[in-house]
Amino acid sequence: MTPASARSPTRVHLRHFSKSLPMSLLRAREAVMRHFRPSLRRHGLTEQQWRVLRALATVPDIEVAGLARATFLLGPSLSRILQDLEGRGLIRRAASPGDLRRGVISITAAGAALIETVTPSSEAIYRAITQRFGAEKLAALQALLRELEEAVADLDTALPDDEPQAALPHAGKAVR
């Protein structure tokens, strides 16, 4: 576990920038997810596929758009995931009668069974984390995160979108 580059003297601060808010959130999330991934992986599921299955387990069925919001996945990602899960027989899809554009997703018996297989270890990990960190601190953290979310959402209305800067074709060789 000892870091491999404890020799070059060129590591003066670098620390200060890993304290930025996005980095802190990323690190914390990664530290948590590190514990869940192995268990999911043993059952052939990614974190996002697991989110989809869990969301589906709470309702009889749901449209794709609603599922995207519930799982916090973007449309394209969800589209790929649903194809995969459908191919494995874990979910089922049907067209909404009355609006053939809408797809209605529901979990299959196999999907529900998989959830029951994975849930125990998943919840055990969550309990261990809660206990280690403290239930009150966890609640406080969740509250702060929610407040942060709302605060920065309001920024959308405060600033126009980003900055007053004309849409100049940027000089570099591009993002796409």
Partner DNA sequence: CCGTTTCGTTTAACACGTTAAGTACTTAGC
Partner DNA sequence: GCTAAGTACTTAACGTGTTAAACGAAACGG
Cα of 80 vs its chain's centroid, Å: 15
Minimum Å gap between C-beta 64 and its own copies is 9
- Window 65 to 84, contacts with DNA (CB under 7 A): 65, 73-84
Among 22, 87, 98, 169, binds DNA (CB under 7 A): 98
Spatial separation of the C-alpha atoms in residues 57 and 51, rounded to whole Å: 10
Spatial separation of the C-alpha atoms in residues 55 and 90, rounded to whole Å: 13
DSSP tally for the chain: helices H, then strands E: 6, 3
Residue (95 or 143) nearer to DNA, CB: 95
**91 makes contact with DNA (CB under 7 A):** no
Minimum Å gap between C-beta 77 and DNA is 3
Class of residue 173 by CB neighbours under 10 A (exposed 0-12, middle 13-18, buried 19+): exposed
Residues of the shown chain interacting with DNA in the complex, contacts defined by CB under 7 A: 4-5, 30, 33, 37-38, 41, 46, 48-49, 63-65, 73-84, 93, 98-103, 175-176
